[in-house]
Amino acid sequence: MNRFTIIIFVLLVIQSCISQTRINKESSGCTIDKDSALQIAFDNGFEKGLDTITATKSNDSIWTFECLICDEDYSDKYDNKSINCFTGKLDLSICIGHMTNYIPIGGTPRIYFEFPLLIDNKPVKRLKSKAYRLTNFDSGREANVTISNKNVIAFSYGFRKIGIINLDGSGFKQICDESLNPQWVNNDVIAYFKDFDHVYEYNINTMKETKITTEANAYYDFSVSPDNKWLAYLKDSPPQIQHDSNGNTITIAQTCSSPREVDLWVMNISNPTIQKKINTISADIYDPIWTEKGDSLLFYNGDKKFYTTNLDKNKVTCSQLDKISDIKLTNYKKMKNGLFPAIKDCKIVLADYIKRTVTDILVNERSRYSECVFSNDRQYLIYTKSEKKAGDTKIWILNFDKTNDTVI
């Protein structure tokens, strides 16, 4: 036997020993248990989401973890990681990362244009103290959160009740019932839709309630100008009148299956007899909001944005709004200096409209968020979330560190 043959024989013996060692090791079971493998998955970016983490073991060698991380809109999104229980490393032979399960839903959602979101990988730092729940109500939904310049929160709760509360949870007071959609007119006055037929205003200092509308209407989508001069609201379009071949009048009413056709109106609050219909291109109108100065009214007409500024004229017209065509009106309303909080993939993020970037605020905290807004000094983030899908939302507060310039 020559030297070369001997070397080959030794290498084959070594390889056989290594293979037998691996077989013996695998037959003895994993060296990394489930909890340790899960921690490795977390260390490699696995997200704890909205539901219980599932763990499965395949071929007695791979731990695979999966968790639902978002179920908003029309899809469910999952995160998963697979860990080799011998090496403790990610198993790249199995598909890992985020998966999306699209859920078909009947109907056509409204079209909202939003600017392209770029991801800033530097997370926003948080105050050392954690977010706290604002109220201690045991049941009922808390929603329609709005905050005054004096940091007093108005919100809906329970069965059509409206209350006010300070940011620290003190000073709670119920101001009305059988009411919906509160909004601050100024630091002292709140407007809301009451008894399903009128808009009222309530002065939190004098505790006086005043009905500001004279005609009963479904004022679900209304907006009071910041100077308390104008009320913008949607009103059902009058039924179509047609005539048959004999000249008889036929009234064509809307049905539950047909889309609601509405007109946009403005009313002078100090003189309710002054009401004007704004001439729009169609009856598909929604989300009327006022600019901060109250000099313009913005709204959707179809899938485009429009505005009007000539409310004092006898004939009120509107024009298409192209300047902010790439941002939702609801986000534009809460934007200050180009910044606003938004909900994206079951996370709350800080959106910078000028830089076109998005940064995590609640880092690695996914939940079923419904609303989010900054206080006017941007020291506080107020948001609502529920613990389960279609569950009751509750109000939470996060207090940012004023000395941390990276926050906002």
Residue-wise pLDDT for 269-296, tens only, equals: 989 889 988 877 777 888 999 988 888 9
Interval 4-14: pLDDT, tens:
454 454 444 44
- Give me the amino acid identity at 289: I
CA distance 380 to 341: 11
Residue 16 within a domain:
no
Residue 377: predicted pLDDT = 83
Task: Check residue 246 and give its pLDDT.
Answer: 67
Domain assignment of residue 369, yes or no = yes
Range of the domain at 61: 29-102
Rounded CA gap, 61 and 142, in Å? 47
Q: Is the dihedral of CA 165, 385, 190, 136 positive or negative?
A: negative
The residue assigned the tokens 């990276």 is 406
Q: Which of 51, 77, 102 is the last residue of a domain?
A: 102
Say whether both 208 and 81 belong to one domain.
no
- Is residue 374 within 8 Å of 408, Cβ to Cβ? yes
Please name which of 327, 328, 310 lies closest in space to residue 319, comparing C-alpha atoms.
Answer: 310
Are 191 and 175 a contacting pair, CB within 8 Å? no
Residue where a domain stops, chosen among 102, 137, 154: 102
Residues 6+ apart with CB under 8 A from 399: 127, 129, 379, 380
Q: Give the pLDDT score at 247.
A: 64
Same structural domain, 50 and 146: no
Which pLDDT does position 76 carry in this prediction?
84
Tell me the C-alpha distance between 280 and 330, whole Å. Answer: 20
Does 123 lie in the same domain as 94? no
* 184/87 same-domain check: no
Nearest residue to 133 (alpha-carbon basis) of 382, 407, 389 = 382
Tokens found for residue 123: 């997370």
Instruction: Please state, in angstroms and rounded to a whole number, the distance separating the CA atoms of residues 273 and 23.
Output: 90
Percent with pLDDT over 70 in the chain: 75
| Tokens (6 digits) for 323 | 């300047």
Residue 144 lies in a domain: yes
Radius of gyration of the CA atoms of the chain, in A? 29
Are 310 and 316 in contact by the 8 Å Cβ rule? The answer is yes
**Tens digit of pLDDT for each residue in 315-360?**
788 889 888 878 889 899 888 888 899 888 888 888 888 888 888 8
What's the pTM? 0.77
Residue 3: inside a domain, yes or no? no
Pair 128, 89 in one domain: no
Residue 95 lies in a domain: yes
Domain boundary among 58, 75, 102: 102
275 and 137 share a domain? yes
Structural domain count of the chain: 2
CATH number assigned to the domain comprising residue 212: 2.130.10.10
DSSP state of 378: S
Residues 176 and 45 placed together within one structural domain of the fold: no
Q: In this structure, what token pair is assigned to residue 181?
A: 């959609």
Structural contact between residues 180 and 160, judged by C-beta atoms closer than 8 angstroms: yes
| HSE, side-chain direction, 13 A CA sphere, residue 116 | 1
Inside any domain, residue 276 = yes
Q: Measured in whole angstroms, how far is the alpha carbon of residue 100 from the centre of its chain?
A: 19
97 and 122 both lie in a single domain: no
The answer as to whether 23 is a domain residue is no
Cα 96 to chain center, whole Å? Answer: 27
Residues 143 and 243 in one domain: yes
CB 146 within 8 A of CB 184: yes
- For residue 82, what is the domain's CATH number? 3.10.450
Same domain membership, residue 42 and residue 152: no
Let me know if residue 219 belongs to a domain.
yes
Regarding whether 198 and 66 lie in a shared domain, the answer is no
The CA-atom distances, in angstroms, between 348 and each of 51, 134, 284 are 18, 18, 30
Same domain, 35 and 67: yes
- Residue-wise pLDDT for 92-113, tens only, equals 765 555 555 554 544 445 545 5
Low-confidence spans in the chain with pLDDT less than 70: 1-29, 73-74, 93-129, 237-260, 363-364, 401-408
Q: Which residue has the tokens 């940011």?
A: 167
Residue 210: its pLDDT value, please?
94
